[in-house]
Amino acid sequence: MVASPGSVELGEEPLEPETIIEGDPRTSSGVIASADLEDGTTLETGVWTCTPGVVTDVEADETFVVISGRAEIECGGETFEVGPGDVCVLPAGAATKWTVHETLKKVYVIRS
């Protein structure tokens, strides 16, 4: 399967109010593919966007590539700046704080 991130239909995904620290961030996402694996887990690939603001999250087992935008991600006492072309791996259960400076678009793979 081949998909362009720009061709994936995105649907709004409202954030839980208690996760918003600053601003009025809005998120949307769309699934490209999903598969149930032999070990009982699911592998999902999709596109996710977030407009500027600051939010917290508890992560899934995720790897993603930033397509556009800029953000800082605080995770495990470290802060990472991410932008176009960056690849990030977040472990399941990690508490994160996302400071999105420019609307972020990423292609993700989540194992759950």
In a domain, 44, yes or no: yes
DSSP assigned state of 9: P
SS3 content of the chain, % helix, strand, coil (to 5): 5, 65, 30
* Number of domains the chain is built from: 1
CA atoms of 91 and 75, how far apart (whole Å): 10
Query: For residue 93, what are the domain limits?
Result: 11-111
- pLDDT of 40: 85
Look at the pTM and tell me if it is higher than 0.75. Answer: yes
In a domain, 85, yes or no: yes
- pLDDT of 3: 76
In a domain, 19, yes or no: yes
Q: The CATH number of the domain where 60 resides is what?
A: 2.60.120.10
DSSP assigned state of 10: P
In a domain, 106, yes or no: yes
DSSP assigned state of 6: G
CA atoms of 55 and 22, how far apart (whole Å): 7
| pLDDT tens digits, one per residue of 49-62 | 999 999 999 988 99
Mean pLDDT across the stretch 34-48?
Answer: 87
